[in-house]
Amino acid sequence: ALLPYVPCVPPMALPGKLTATTFTLERPRCIFDWHTNASDTVWLVVAFANASATFRNPPSRADVPLYEQLPTTHSYMTLETAAAAYACSAPSPAVLRVGGDTACGSQGGQDPCNGPLPFPGPYRVKFLVMGCHGPKAETRWSDPILLRRGTGDPRGSPTPARLGDVVVIASILAGLGAVLAVAVLGAVGAEVWGSLCRRDSGTFARRSYRTHHIPPALPQPLPPGCRCSPPGLGCFAPRPPGPCPAK
């Protein structure tokens, strides 16, 4: 049976609604109740948008295209879930995460896997009901879903290249900071040194004084009749003889 339901990405804002490796779908409810029984399962078919028209439903579970075959078969099936999980009365989350299982690949490609999408797409998806004897019902294909282009691994951790870029940028910023610090310290030091020099120059100018040159005294000629006294007593002129005393 072809059901009128069209899978879609939720219109409301959600964290991680579209990433580089995953996308979110509205969870269908009350869609398969009239076409399933307790033993049936519901699958999600993921295919490249240009390959959805040529996709053929597998006749049995053993023929389900696996996640690892996406690059060659251009489609795979995932999210195998009991049909009762989509019933009207089932308390289930409102959305489904496609591509959220980062452990895919460790099973050796033997089991269906909801692994990260390796290409940006666009993709188309549909829900397919599988019973014991093959497909029983399916929804219409969704509109094309294009993932966000980005870098990094599916867990969102930075790649070595991005870490290298961060280290280089941090080194450049650290170098620029050191050069700026040296320039600032140099300018401040020059200003302080100039201020000290100007202050010392003013102090010296205020304390300086002029000296008067006093020429040395030249030896003077001795007056006539002057004789030298013993050393240290100076010179004196001989006293003229006094008048003779009267007899």
* Nearest residue to 208 (alpha-carbon basis) of 197, 200, 216: 200
Confidence of residue 79 (pLDDT cuts 50, 70, 90): very high
> ∠ CA(109), CA(110), CA(111), 5° rounding?
100
* Token pair of 185 as six digits: 């310290």
**Which 3 state secondary structure label does DSSP give 222?**
coil
Dihedrals phi, psi of 80, to nearest 5 degrees: -65, 120
pLDDT for the residue 220 = 53
* Nearest residue to 18 (alpha-carbon basis) of 161, 93, 169, 122: 122
H/E stretch holding 81 reads: strand 75-82
Is pLDDT at 153 greater than 60 in this prediction?
Answer: no
Confidence of residue 50 (pLDDT cuts 50, 70, 90): very high
Indicate the range of 28-37, 71-80, 95-104, 157-166 predicted with least confidence.
157-166
Is pLDDT at 49 greater than 90 in this prediction?
Answer: yes
Interacting residues of 35 by C-beta distance below 8 A, sequence separation 6+: 1, 3, 129, 136, 137
Average pLDDT value for residue range 37-48: 93
Name the DSSP letter for residue 154.
T
Q: Whole-angstrom Cα distance, residue 21 to residue 69?
A: 16
Higher pLDDT, 187 or 196: 187
**Cα diameter, the chain:** 190
Note the pTM of the prediction, 2 decimals. 0.60
Domains, the chain, in order of start with CATH, read 1-150 (2.60.40.10)
The 10s digit of each residue's pLDDT in 92-148 is 788 999 999 988 866 555 678 999 999 999 999 999 999 888 999 999 999 999 998
β-strands 23-26, 123-131: how paired? Answer: unpaired
Average pLDDT, the chain: 75
Is pLDDT at 34 greater than 70 in this prediction?
Answer: yes
pLDDT above 70: percentage of residues in the chain = 58
Confidence of residue 155 (pLDDT cuts 50, 70, 90): very low
Q: Whole-angstrom Cα distance, residue 59 to residue 64?
A: 8
pLDDT above 90: percentage of residues in the chain = 38
Interacting residues of 197 by C-beta distance below 8 A, sequence separation 6+: none
Dihedrals phi, psi of 173, to nearest 5 degrees: -65, -40
pLDDT for the residue 208 = 45
pLDDT for the residue 235 = 47
CB burial of residue 36 (10 Å; 0-12, 13-18, 19+): buried
Are residues 43 and 77 in contact, defined by beta-carbon separation less than 8 angstroms? yes
* Token pair of 109 as six digits: 């490609």
